[in-house]
């Protein structure tokens, strides 16, 4: 924005009054339009005795005829000098114009400073908001790094031959209390034939005792499976033969629900899902983690 042009536009009405003030100093004396003609006898040249009075042609010699009246324009009178009152008035107007211009320029300068300060304040507020957001994200990252993380592993059973135990281990940095566990056993041609999301139709969550608290690095068993369980799962010999030939897979899956002990509130409840394939052979068996990502989540 052109601030100087704005100031000139404001002062234009004041400057427009100066010509009228200057014209008023001339005194208002009307000039005489014409002077009374002198008598013809005074202005007329002496007549030649041999010339005829009133003759207008000069064929015989020089013509001395003059008109009877001559009109001479009177020059305009000089303007009257300014009076003291007019000089004071003109000086006061000039001072007011100068002061008004100075005031307008100061006001415009102040407005520009206010505009700059407003921009600085907006920039500072934006920087503060970004810093607060970064601090919150950092605090959330610290909380997530310090929370408990229960991961699922499989280990061979020490007491049952060809038996395996699904273990829940706290790999985080703070204690965790197990709230409940749930698991399901099913069979499928392969892992891709499982439902998109885990289905727990006949299973009910089993409440874990309050004493099950896992410190960082501690583990607890949540599910065991052996060859004897395979026979109980297969309803007939035909199904058992398909399992032994790996034409049909035995899959176990479930989840562990636990609570973060260092944070208050029910929103600090977490869940770890798991899925395992029991590899049943005619003489030996094994168990490994398997299943699609939807069956192996941690939050």
Three-state helix/strand/coil letters over 151-205: EEEEEECCCCCCCEEEEEEECCCCCEEEEEEEEEEEEECCHHHCCCCCCCCCCCC
DSSP assigned state of 25 = G
Instruction: Give the C-alpha separation, 242 to 15, whole Å.
Output: 109
Q: Is 213 helix (H, G, I), strand (E, B) or coil?
A: strand
Instruction: Decide if 260 contacts 148 (C-beta within 8 A).
Output: yes
Q: For position 58, what pLDDT does the model report?
A: 52
Q: Is 208 helix (H, G, I), strand (E, B) or coil?
A: coil
Q: For residue 94, what are the contacts with CB-CB under 8 A and spacing of at least 6?
A: none
Q: For position 44, what pLDDT does the model report?
A: 41
Q: For position 76, what pLDDT does the model report?
A: 74
Q: Among the residues of the chain, which ranges form H helices?
A: 3-15, 18-23, 40-43, 84-146, 227-233, 237-244
Containing 64, the helix (H) or strand (E) segment is: none
pTM, 2 dp = 0.55
Q: For position 78, what pLDDT does the model report?
A: 76
Instruction: Decide if 231 contacts 162 (C-beta within 8 A).
Output: no
CA proximity to 295, closest of 165, 177, 178, 152: 152
CA proximity to 182, closest of 215, 162, 206, 201: 206
| Phi, psi at 183, each rounded to 5° | -145, 165
Structure tokens at 29: 């004396």
Residue ranges for the chain with pLDDT beneath 70: 1-73, 202-211, 264-267
Instruction: Give the C-alpha separation, 228 to 219, whole Å.
Output: 25
Q: For position 74, what pLDDT does the model report?
A: 76
Q: For position 205, what pLDDT does the model report?
A: 65
Residues forming beta bridges with residue 180, ordered by sequence position: 207, 257
Structure tokens at 94: 């000039």
- Find tokens 């896992």 and name the residue: 214
Q: For position 139, what pLDDT does the model report?
A: 83
Query: What tens digit of pLDDT does each residue of 187-208 get?
Result: 998 888 898 899 887 666 665 5
Counting every residue written for the chain, the total comes to 299
End-to-end CA distance of the chain: 57
């Amino acid at each position: 924005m052109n601030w100087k042009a704005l100031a000139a536009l404001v002062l234009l009405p004041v400057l427009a009054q100066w010509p009228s003030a200057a014209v008023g100093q001339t005194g208002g004396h009307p000039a005489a339009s014409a002077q009374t003609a002198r008598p013809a006898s005074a202005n007329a040249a002496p007549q030649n005795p041999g010339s005829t009075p009133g003759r207008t042609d000069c064929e015989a010699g020089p013509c001395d005829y003059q008109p009877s009246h001559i009109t001479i324009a009177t020059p305009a009178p000089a303007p009257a000098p300014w009076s003291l009152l007019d000089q004071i008035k003109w000086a006061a107007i000039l001072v007011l114009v100068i002061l008004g211009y100075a005031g307008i320029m100061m006001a415009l300068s102040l407005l520009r400073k206010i505009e700059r300060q407003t921009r600085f304040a907006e920039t500072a507020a934006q920087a503060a908001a970004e810093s607060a957001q970064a601090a919150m994200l950092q605090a959330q990252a610290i909380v997530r790094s310090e929370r408990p993380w229960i991961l699922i592993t499989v280990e061979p059973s020490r007491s049952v031959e060809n038996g395996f135990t699904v273990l829940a281990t706290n790999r985080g940095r703070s204690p965790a209390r197990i709230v409940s566990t749930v698991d399901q056993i099913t069979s499928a041609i392969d892992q891709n034939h499982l439902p998109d999301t885990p289905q727990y139709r006949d299973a009910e969550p089993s409440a874990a005792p309050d004493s099950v608290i896992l410190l960082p690095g501690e583990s607890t068993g949540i599910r065991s499976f052996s060859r004897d369980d395979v026979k109980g799962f297969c309803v007939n010999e035909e199904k058992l033969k398909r399992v032994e030939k790996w034409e049909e897979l035995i899959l176990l899956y479930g989840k562990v629900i636990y609570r973060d002990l260092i944070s208050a509130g029910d929103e600090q409840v977490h869940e770890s899902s798991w899925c395992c394939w029991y590899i049943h052979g005619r003489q030996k068996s094994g168990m490994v983690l398997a299943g699609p990502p939807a069956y192996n989540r941690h939050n």
